[in-house]
Structure 1
Amino acid sequence: MQRIISLSTIPPRFRLIEPTLRSLLRQSMPADEVRLYIPRSYRRFPDYDGSLPDLPPGITLCRPAEDLGPASKILFAADELRERDCQILFCDDDRIYQPDWARFLFEHQARRPRECVSLVGKPIHRPKTAAGRRRRRREERRSPQKAGFAKPLLNPRRAALHIADFFARTWKPADARVLQRSRIYRAGHAEILQGYGGVAVRPHFFDASAKVIPDIIWAVDDYWLSGLLASRNIPIWLPAHAPMPLKSATSGVESLLESEIDGSGRTEANQACIDYMRARYGIWN
């Protein structure tokens, strides 16, 4: 079975993306191919002149005609590789990936071939009050197949991980040798994947209709991809204490997180996607 790593990028990040690409090429379990998708035109950057970044040897440049927004990092690859027996690990262009990152995700997904495996994820709704958070923790304890998102510091092991993670993020945020761990203390399922950590799937998890993304929603790939998986009854599995990639110099450069797209901010676009998925597929109710 082949292993493919896939990502996309945007023009303002071209000159800064090389360290990310080199970290993907230096994995202890090398991918058979590392694909970088750069569309021939961009929705967000209509003045893009077609120039390309300098790429290290070993990177496959892919030039789709259309721009699917951040979902470009997976949906083109899934479409092109759908008939192939392979895993696709898709990721963001603003991280530095530790050498065992790909191995961790590929191996976990191989053990769960009918599931998506995401390094990071979240519930579809986050409690806004202390009472709501306590209720969520009680629900997590009663449901062993649901990922544990809270990290109670009364547990010594979790406290030690929390403290080590804090100092790693505070003192050496860009040093790939610092091993940070995800905040998932118990492996389990979640409704929403978060692509910045990396996500391992099989190409047939997404069909051709996945590329038909409504306005506004195209900017929120995590919710769009999660909804497509839920509509096909493909669970999202979060491993516990996963090694987290670190922010690179591109982090924050023209970030969608802070952008307004088609007159909507991130929160409004996420809700629009939730409403769309509920209406079309009857999920997340």
Structure 2
Amino acid sequence: MPMTTPAPVALITGAAHRLGAHTARHLHGRGWNIVIHYRSRRDQAEALASELNQQREDSATTIQADLSDPEAITPLAEQAIAAWGRLNGLLNNASVFYPNPTEKAGISDWDTVMGTNLRAPFFLGQACLPALREARGAIVNLIDIYSQRPLADHPLYCASKSGLASLTLSWAKDLAPDVRVNGVSPGAILWPEGDAEIDPQYQQSILAKTPLARTGKPDDIAGAIAFLLCDAPFVTGQILSVDGGRSLNM
């Protein structure tokens, strides 16, 4: 019988909902096995894994970890690699987003935002690096337009995403030629929820500065991530803006 190539494996942080879940479905549809990381959304993560496993047996699994806890990072990487004995892609998607005005921000805010958005991607990438090198794999980091255009009263979030953008470029140099590293920087795709919800008037002001005059779709981001993981073997050190042209009006 002919030999079959094992499915590539991706670890996606924050994959239980929103952009992470859309990307998990997109990559799974392209033949990838998916490690679905979640912090607190166990029911959503397990439902997604069940959905994907019904489509293709033994193709998705879930791992819980609090990325703000430094002690959780290495076990997450080890479990992700052990799931199928390999790792071809790491998507650092999970992030914390909420207002923290300079006058009110505390050490706990710093630790939560910077720990989840910047420290965790670094040390998770470090822990996954041997497996990624063996697979000649790739890392994609989810950046944000606010890494370049700061959002009022979100200094820690903006700083964390600026740091992640810089880390993306540094890693692209340092980890070559074995591992490619790129970023995707979304514009208006899904509006923040809950306490981080953006005022409707501000939403309209964002769209007014977007040449395509509309929000994007989650599949726009998932497709860009899939391109960088699957279809761009000669691309590294790039941060792809998927923002409807909004970065033209910065």
Pairwise TM-score range, normalised by the shorter structure: 0.3 to 0.5
Structure showing greater relative contact order (alpha-carbon pairs closer than 8 Å, 6 or more residues apart): 1
Q: Structure 1 or 2: larger helix share?
A: 2
TM-score (norm 2): 0.32
Q: Who wins on radius of gyration, i.e. which is larger?
A: 1
TM-score (norm 1): 0.29
